[in-house]
């Protein structure tokens, strides 16, 4: 008696730890777009969940960004139901034209919809189909942007209820798993549209593999794992430091005493607490805050996103909504 195709076996093995952690009687949801990665994930969950006593459903998010998106979402939902997942919901979202770009806005809307579905259905986990290739692309984009360790750490295997069991598998494995099981993944035309930065990163990653030899994606993903450990440790140090500072205004000497890698994280915490949106804080803002300590020459306040203003006076620094310090 032969076992399943090696790619199918790999996807099933990959999801078992997450389902075991969820535990018998719990409910999980697959976030399924209909693409090869999420469809292979849906098939693996549909096979493994009943054997572990876990109830598994799916959510298909229709971003309404392309003609025929409703039909694509309905087809993905139909394949999920055919696999035995229940319930399967299609959720339509509106992607706003925010300043962070269409990809980021679509991602924000998608994750919000998945979290809401998990709340509504009482799901312990929402499983996502990101692969090692996605992780490598994320790291490459971080390098291009000159990002810090947290960005270069890529996507975590778990963040809250969001779980990514395929981060150790490559995209070729998920495609092979779909082929072996007779599944028909949707090919998103956006994946060939080089107006999207991620699509260009994907092409570049392929060129790097061709020029430098196979293993570039795996090496980038491995670097992300190592950097995540460092970033987690620094974040914990920053949380401790932030707690020790107490309420503002904060003494310049106390802030200066912190190592810069910790202090930049503390700046982000202080700015967020004052009202700056976390996703809107960039290195240029943190550098301006740093200058209040390391390049002080009597300069005026630092304006931050979210109508927050930082200023130094009498050897102390304060971050507050701008209307309170004008």
Residue numbers in the known binding site are 33-38
Give the separation between CA 61 and CA 250, rounded to whole angstroms: 45
CB 6 within 8 A of CB 35: no
CB 257 within 8 A of CB 233: no
CB 123 within 8 A of CB 85: no
Known binding residues for ATP are 33-38
Query: How buried is residue 151: exposed, middle or buried, by Cβ count under 10 Å (0-12/13-18/19+)?
Result: middle
Continuous segment of H or E residues that includes residue 153: none
Give the separation between CA 252 and CA 245, rounded to whole angstroms: 11
Give the separation between CA 9 and CA 44, rounded to whole angstroms: 9
Give the separation between CA 322 and CA 318, rounded to whole angstroms: 11
Read off the DSSP letter of residue 55: E
Residue 126 main-chain phi, psi, to 5 deg: -120, 115
Question: What length is written for the chain?
Answer: 326
Task: Show the tokens assigned to 316.
Answer: 């102390």
* 319 strand-pairing partners: 310
- Crossing angle of helices 171-180 and 6-22, in 10° steps, is 100
Calculated CA dihedral for residues 213, 214, 218, 223, nearest 10 degrees: -10
| DSSP notation for 104-141 | HHHHHHHHHHHHHHHHHHT-SEEE----HHHHHHHHHH
Nearest to 171, CA basis, from 207, 202, 212, 126:
202
Give the separation between CA 48 and CA 305, rounded to whole angstroms: 46
């Amino acid at each position: 008696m032969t076992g399943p195709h090696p790619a199918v076996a790999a996807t099933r093995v990959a999801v078992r730890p997450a389902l075991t952690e969820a535990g018998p009687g719990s409910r999980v949801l697959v976030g399924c777009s209909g693409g090869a990665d999420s469809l292979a994930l849906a098939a693996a969950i549909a096979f493994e969940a009943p054997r572990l006593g876990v109830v598994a459903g799916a959510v298909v998010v229709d971003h309404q960004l392309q003609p025929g998106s409703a039909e694509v979402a309905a087809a993905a939902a139909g394949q999920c139901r055919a696999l035995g997942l229940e319930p399967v919901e299609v959720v339509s979202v509106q992607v706003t034209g925010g300043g962070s770009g269409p990809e980021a806005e679509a991602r924000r809307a998608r994750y919000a919809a998945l979290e809401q579905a998990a709340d509504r259905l009482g799901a312990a986990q929402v499983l996502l189909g990101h692969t090692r290739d996605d992780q490598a692309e994320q790291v490459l984009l971080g390098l291009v942007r000159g990002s810090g360790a947290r960005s270069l750490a890529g996507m975590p295997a778990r963040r809250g209820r969001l779980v990514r069991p395929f981060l150790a598998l490559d995209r070729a494995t998920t495609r092979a798993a779909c082929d072996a099981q007779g599944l028909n993944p949707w090919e998103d035309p956006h994946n060939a549209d080089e107006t999207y930065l991620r699509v260009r990163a994907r092409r570049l990653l392929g060129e790097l593999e061709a020029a430098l030899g196979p293993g570039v994606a795996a090496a980038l993903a491995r670097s992300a794992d190592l950097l995540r450990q460092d970033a987690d440790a620094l974040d914990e140090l920053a949380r401790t430091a932030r707690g020790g500072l107490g309420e503002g205004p904060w003494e310049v000497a106390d802030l200066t005493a912190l190592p810069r890698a910790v202090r930049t994280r503390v700046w982000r915490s202080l700015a967020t607490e004052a009202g700056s949106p976390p996703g809107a804080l960039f290195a240029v803002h943190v550098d301006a805050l740093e200058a209040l300590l390391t390049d002080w020459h009597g300069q005026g306040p630092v304006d931050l996103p979210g109508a927050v203003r930082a200023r130094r006076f009498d050897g102390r620094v304060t971050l507050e909504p701008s209307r309170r310090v004008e």
